[in-house]
Structures are given as structure tokens and as C-alpha cells.
Amino acid sequence: MREMEEKILKEGKILSGGILKVGSFLNQKIDVIFLKTMGKEISELYKGAGANKILTIESSGIAIAVATGMEMNIPVVFAKKHRTSNVDGEAYVTRVHSFTHNEDYQVVVSKEYLVPSDRILLIDDFLANGNAVNGLIELVNQAGAEVIGIAAAIEKVFQGGGDELRAKGYRVESLAEIEIMSESGIIFRHNLSRNG
């Protein structure tokens, strides 16, 4: 999506360790006009795919998931992150390794909110190594539901998670796919590139 690539080039800040900061429009301050555009785009991409629910992970996936849910008129469920394992039997639980914080945490969804008949669209802000999305897939599997697709605002292709999921047969749609990110700039997989 051209607007997303342009937004990253204009406002994104490249931090050490392969982290892109997009606090000015997605992760801390939210550009609501652009958020609506992102929601519309994902909703268009998955039109007719039969999703009845969106699943995301707190906290930075929630905004884009809700924007998409409002376009598709379907509910959004977000998995909660817990540092400790004080979870009762009424929840689906798995462990995820956080790329940005370099620690493991538990990801939890109440059993009431995922049911076997669900056809789930998974959404997150970033797709990097794929740990967060794989954790969400695990929760959907525990519920006996189906993942119909995955969407991310920004995929860091160089970390491989998105392509691994595609190789497993999942449909993955990312609004921007960063192929290379270095001090000298960003190159997207779909050819819009610029230095700086």
C-alpha cells in the first residue's frame, strides 16, 4: 500500500536492533484518518473471505484491528499479555517471545470469546519473526476455530516470519513490506524505495 510506504519513509525512525519506530501514527500517537484508511484497506483485501471475528494482541494491535472490525462489521477480540502464569482453566493460553522486549510472556484469551465455529482474521501492527502471530494461531487452534487470514500494518520481510507463514499455506497481507532496513534507508519489497 503506497500510502503506508510513504508514511513510513516520512515518519518512521529506524532504531538499533532492527526496530522501526512508528510512534507518530500507529504505536503511541494515532493518526485516526490514516487508521481509517488502514482499516478500509485490510477490509477490502479480506472482502468475501468469510471472517466473522478479528483476533489481535494487546496493546499495539488493537487500534488497527478495531479500525478493520468497524469496516467489516465484525467483533474484535484481543489476547492479553501476562508476565506470570496465574491463569485459570477458563482461558486459552500460550507462550510468546517478544522481539522488542526480548522476554517471554503468556498470551491469554477467555474461552468465551473464541468458539469452534469462528473464522478468524488475525491482525497485528508488526509482523517480524512471526512469534506473536504464531501465538495467536495456537490460541485459535486450541479453540478448534479456523484462521482465514493474517494482516499486518508493517511486515519486516527480512525477519522471515511472514514468508514462513505463507509457506505453511496461510494468506498473509501486509500494508507495507520492508525488505531491507538500514541506516542508509528502507527498501520495500514492492519497489517503492528511497534513501533516508
Please report, as ranges, the residues that interact with ligand 5GP according to CB under 6 A.
Answer: 19-21, 27, 57, 60, 99-100, 124-132, 161
Here the cell at position 180 is 531491507
In terms of CB distance, is 128 or 145 closer to ligand 5GP? Answer: 128
- Report in angstroms how near the CB of residue 104 gets to ligand 5GP at its nearest: 11
- Report in angstroms how near the CB of residue 89 gets to ligand 5GP at its nearest: 26
- Report in angstroms how near the CB of residue 12 gets to ligand 5GP at its nearest: 9
- Report in angstroms how near the CB of residue 102 gets to ligand 5GP at its nearest: 11
- Report in angstroms how near the CB of residue 48 gets to ligand 5GP at its nearest: 27
In terms of CB distance, is 118 or 124 closer to ligand 5GP? Answer: 124
In terms of CB distance, is 43 or 131 closer to ligand 5GP? Answer: 131
Q: How far is the C-alpha of 196 from the C-alpha of 110, rounded, in Å?
A: 44
In terms of CB distance, is 25 or 92 closer to ligand 5GP? Answer: 25
In terms of CB distance, is 110 or 129 closer to ligand 5GP? Answer: 129
